[in-house]
Structure 1
């Protein structure tokens, strides 16, 4: 079972046609030497721990600029609004992660030219986020075919390196203390390359980071491993030779539990529902008796035998914590969560609480997946997004007020810092005593 789920399948999403473009300076377009680091730039690198205080607790704004087949002006302007961002801030989050599909901005004929129309929408969104006193991770979040081309096509790697240079130059105008650049979401090179996926991704990621760093010398970059941002991929990664890089973890273990009832990771999971978290033989037997597909029964049975609990989660994350100590690097969990449709609310609460508390114990910031979608904190009910107070409790947030029913109708979605972080967590605990 573990071999089956060492990889997560990404959704293959519809691409939009790139039309109007904006021309960037010749330093990008004509391959002239990029700007060099200055003493001021190096001084910025010394403030990494302070920057990471912006990433202690956050949430993903999925299905806005990625994972959708509809990128109309009306939808981009209304999918996430001022009310949503004010709610997120009021709940106690200090940052968001914004998945962005590069296809919206990319002109493959000239990767240095970015789509001006979508850049305007992105700038509006970023300003809205920052104006609500939220930091933001800009996450390059392409579909599967894009990642497969990176895995297999050197020419495409060169194109996307050039694209990232232009994109980074555009984003470099935003405050480097509050805007972070994530190289690529879930590279999944092991899915496309049976041999040497680690070496290939190390090379590709360094190519992309070199381009980003050339045109955004002050911004912190988020890197990851060759597979799906999981622990094993990070453990096999050669750390980047750049002191202003942190590492992105996705934690969905055990995936048979977190993704039960879904079909995009593996079709057999869609047959499994209401599987409990923790050791409960009676509940497991009841769930097993209701599964109609034998292969799904086998998956669920294997999960029940593993007896997941907080100690097991802690043991998994401890291996990564040891890696961070060995290499003197930092990790942020930029995704974790469990499906809201087929996971019992009490089990979802317990798993979320355990993962969140273990991440904090190891001084790793976290970003919940997601605000609205299949794992949502604020699912849509009768045209209104309603915040789940139980999930807020599991996250141990400190809302500025009781914000559990934002009065807003919205379109339906298509789907750590070292010592400083320890001080903040300690203060939160003291405030509750």
Structure 2
């Protein structure tokens, strides 16, 4: 009997040790998370479902279509400010829709980047943005605090204009600790000012001891090609017929990404190419060539990427046909076109 209890105690202690080891398992590093993100796509930023879920274009099955095509991540684009009440509180129905999106993505086997996308208000009037941005992350950060590590937070899309490097860094010094209260090791995605420009990446001031951060940048160069005919960009609204991609243009993409890669290595920060795309104003052959060149260069440089965007414009999914835009899909995921 004494031998039995001695053995039982040993087994119990061993089990406790395994349990403690499991509980103490370290959070994945930002570098590991970046590799997990892989190839992704931006979704539902302009979908009616945020105002009336019944009117939504995006359905639950689209998450599975995205995963089956070979994507591993969705960046959920959130324009939350217009839904807040006078106290900057988000309504329960909006939270429910966010939960539907996160659940749908994770159940389909996708990683999630929760992206606060009210960049225009925040950039045009940083003071008016401040309280709303803080309120958003207090609420959403707390609400999602128990989610697995494959749910990541992007603090703000494309700061620019008056929200310059000095103001953006000051905002981050306040915002990051607020998010960290409920999410001490969750991976954050943070980009530089001037529309997440790669040329501003060296202006970022991130907490040196916080290594759970992925740095993001966006890439649409040359804009005259990628944004030709875009009504919201006056300089290119009447531009048409611009083609791509010459050997020199491809080399420029590689050169730009070399610059980002050098910064990444110097600062030990992994990189996400959070947006890239060429809108429908260009001819399909050129759009395919550019999209493929950017995606492959990002992969050679070991950047995760998320294409802009699933539907709306710059599309990879045609809602009317309920099917992939095959040439663009093939440029993103070789063999899937």
Q: Normalising by structure 2, what TM-score? A: 0.86
Aligned match of 2:52 in 67, 72, 82? 72
Q: Which residue does 1:56 correspond to in 2? A: 38
CA 1:71–1:105 in 2, change beyond 3 Å: closer, same or farther? Answer: closer
What residue in structure 1 maps to residue 168 of structure 2? 201
Instruction: Please list every run of at least 4 consecutive aligned residues from structure 1 whose deviation after the TM superposition is greater than 4 angstroms.
Output: 39-43
**Partners in 1 of 2:78 and 2:187 — Cα distance?**
17
Partner of 2:124: 148
Q: CA RMSD in A?
A: 2.4
Question: Secondary structure at the residue paired with 1:275?
Answer: coil
CA contact (8 A) 2:83 2:90 kept: yes
Q: What secondary structure sits across from 2:192 in the alignment?
A: coil
**CA distance change for structure 1 residues 276 and 386 in 2, over 3 Å: closer, same or farther?**
same
Q: 1:120 aligns with which of 73, 89, 96?
A: 96
The correspondence for 1:387, drawn from 313, 321, 324, is: 324
Task: Give the 3 Å change call, closer, same or farther, for CA 158–84 of structure 1 in structure 2.
Answer: closer
Q: What corresponds to 2:204 in structure 1?
A: 237
The number of aligned residues is 316
1:93 matches 2:93: no
Question: Would the alpha carbon gap of residues 41 and 308 (structure 1) be closer, same or farther in structure 2, given more than 3 Å must change?
Answer: farther
Give the drift of 1:143.
5.2
Which aligned pairs between 1:340-359 and structure 2 lie closer than 5 A? 340=280, 342-359=281-298
The answer to whether structure 1 residue 366 and structure 2 residue 336 are counterparts is no
Cα distance between partner residues in 2 of 1:43 and 1:161: 30
Distance 1:85 1:309, change over 3 A: same
C-alpha deviation, 1:135, in angstroms = 0.7
Displacement of 1:70 after TM fit? 6.8
The structural deviation recorded for 1:210 is 1.5
Q: Distance in 1 between matches of 2:42 and 2:24?
A: 30
Encode CA deviations 1:246-268: one digit per residue, 9 max, x unaligned.
11111101111100011212x13
Aligned to 2:139: 166
Change (3 A) 1:204 1:308: farther
Task: Return the offset for 1:386.
Answer: 2.5
Could you report, residue by residue, the CA deviation over 1:286-322 in whole angstroms, capped at 9, with x for unpaired residues? xxxxxxxxxxxxxxxxxxxxx8521111111111111
Aligned to 1:271: 238
Q: Under a length normalisation based on structure 1, what TM-score does the superposition of the two structures give?
A: 0.68
Relative to its length, the structure with more helix (as a share) is: 2
| Structure 1 residue 104 displacement after superposition | 5.1
Runs (5+) with no aligned partner, structure 2: 1-20
Unaligned runs of at least 5 residues, structure 1: 1-38, 280-306, 405-433
Matched with 2:14 is none
